[in-house]
């Protein structure tokens, strides 16, 4: 599941508080002649918006994609079934906007109100609320009910286990996607340019497999293999160019946190952590995949632990470049958007090349809130170049003139 927040509105705005000191000095006895109720005029105001009375001036979009079990296909009636239960979704606050159903996949796009949150986001919020890392008063009552439900002592508060389950589901789905397709532009560009930095938000291993297939060495922040795993070192060596550096900003399905005694460290593994080869090498206890899922909750982790190190290294690497080529990104991540905008505005010669081919894509790109007002100026000054082709349909000649 993925989701994107299309616009924003304050949730805790308050009416301005009157400053009594700004209207001149008053004698002490003046307070005694105020009309009844006047003191209430200067009391601390109540919030204009709360979680109960908010009427949003914005919309949220959640999309969901499902696949059939390997070796099977979805029934031809899957689209009709989804449309038939749309009224039930509507009663839960999810309005069906788009539906694409085929034998091998079904994609659904919903419009929802801010009261509807994806499960993983709620779990992260509950976990951080309990740990004191990030307090969200809007979920306090929900956390209290969860705590009460598990107060019998027979089971633990299930948030962390539920999060690990969802991460495991993502891992199982992505590890089956093994054959890279449509990534030839990457290896072709490396052969022509000599040094390329790749910044990806994907959790899968398709880029790594494409680089390995084309015998292209790369650095990804992890060191040499020791005791069955690759420990994270934070080194993206560039001295031995030509070389490729890979920055996986949202983590990867082969990243884990290894626990040895009371110590933890971030590592990368080969294959499935439960397979015989890994077990025979004595790998320590491996926690769930170290990946970032969701929307706003990802940004809370952009500056912490291994993800913070990756983001800092990516920020430094991007400063050395004058051209950034983007493809397959929906521009719904505020943390990523702000960093790209910062880089784009840092120097007049910095240029963003977008590979995107979709019906009405020019209007869709132009109206993205991250640059809707600056878009005309960016295009006029050739700081944004829009090529209406997907990455898989581009050759080096398509982008050569913009490098």
Residue 14 — φ and ψ, nearest 5°?
A: -125, 155
For the chain, the helix, strand and coil percentages under 3-state DSSP, each to the nearest 5: 35, 20, 45
Threshold 0.75, pTM exceeds: no
Helices (H), strands (E): how many in the chain?
15, 14
C-alpha angle with apex 239: 238 to 245, nearest 5 degrees? 15
10 Å Cβ neighbour count for 278?
17
Q: 39: Cβ–Cβ under 8 A, 6 or more apart, which residues?
A: none
Q: 220: Cβ–Cβ under 8 A, 6 or more apart, which residues?
A: 208, 236, 245, 246, 247, 248, 268
User: Binning pLDDT at 50, 70 and 90, where does residue 303 land?
Assistant: confident
Per-residue pLDDT reduced to its tens digit, 111-142: 876 555 555 566 666 666 666 655 666 566 76
Based on its alpha-carbon atoms, the radius of gyration of the chain, rounded to whole angstroms, reads 26
Per-residue pLDDT reduced to its tens digit, 58-104: 467 777 777 777 778 888 888 888 888 888 777 767 788 889 888 88
């Amino acid at each position: 599941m993925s989701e994107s927040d299309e616009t924003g509105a304050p949730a805790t705005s308050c009416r301005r508080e009157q400053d009594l000191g700004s209207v001149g000095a008053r004698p002490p006895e003046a307070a005694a002649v105020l009309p009844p109720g006047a003191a209430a005029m200067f009391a601390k105001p109540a919030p204009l918006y709360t979680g109960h009375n908010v009427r949003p001036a914005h919309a949220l979009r959640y999309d969901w994609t499902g696949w059939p079990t390997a070796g099977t296909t979805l029934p031809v009636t899957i689209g009709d079934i989804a449309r038939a239960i749309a009224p039930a979704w509507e009663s839960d606050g999810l309005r069906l906007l788009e539906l694409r159903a085929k034998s091998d996949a079904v994609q659904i796009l919903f419009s929802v109100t801010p009261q509807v949150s994806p499960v993983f986001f709620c779990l992260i919020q509950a976990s951080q609320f309990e740990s004191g890392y990030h307090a969200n008063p809007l979920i306090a009552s929900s956390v209290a009910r969860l705590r009460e439900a598990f107060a019998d002592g027979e089971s633990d508060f299930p948030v962390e286990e539920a999060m690990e389950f969802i991460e495991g589901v993502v891992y199982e789905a992505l590890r089956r996607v093994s054959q890279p397709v449509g990534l030839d532009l990457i290896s072709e560009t490396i052969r022509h340019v000599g040094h390329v930095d790749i910044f990806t938000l994907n959790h899968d291993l398709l880029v790594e497999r494409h680089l390995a297939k084309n015998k292209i060495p790369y650095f990804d922040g992890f060191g040499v293999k020791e005791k069955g795993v690759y420990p994270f070192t934070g080194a993206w060596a560039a001295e031995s160019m030509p070389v490729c550096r890979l920055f996986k900003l949202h983590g990867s399905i082969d990243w884990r946190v290894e626990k040895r005694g009371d110590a933890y460290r971030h590592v990368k593994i080969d294959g499935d952590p439960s397979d015989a080869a890994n077990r025979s090498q004595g790998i320590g206890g491996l926690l769930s995949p170290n990946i970032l899922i969701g929307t706003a909750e990802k940004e809370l982790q952009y500056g912490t632990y291994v993800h913070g190190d990756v983001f800092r290294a990516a920020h430094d690497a991007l400063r050395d470049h004058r051209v950034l080529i983007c493809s397959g990104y929906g521009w719904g991540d505020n943390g990523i958007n702000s960093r790209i905008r910062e880089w784009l505005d840092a120097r007049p010669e910095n240029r963003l090349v977008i590979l995107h081919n979709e019906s009405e894509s020019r209007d869709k790109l132009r109206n993205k809130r991250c640059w809707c007002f600056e878009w005309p100026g960016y295009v006029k000054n050739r700081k944004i170049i829009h090529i209406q082709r997907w990455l898989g349909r581009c050759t080096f000649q398509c982008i050569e003139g913009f490098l």
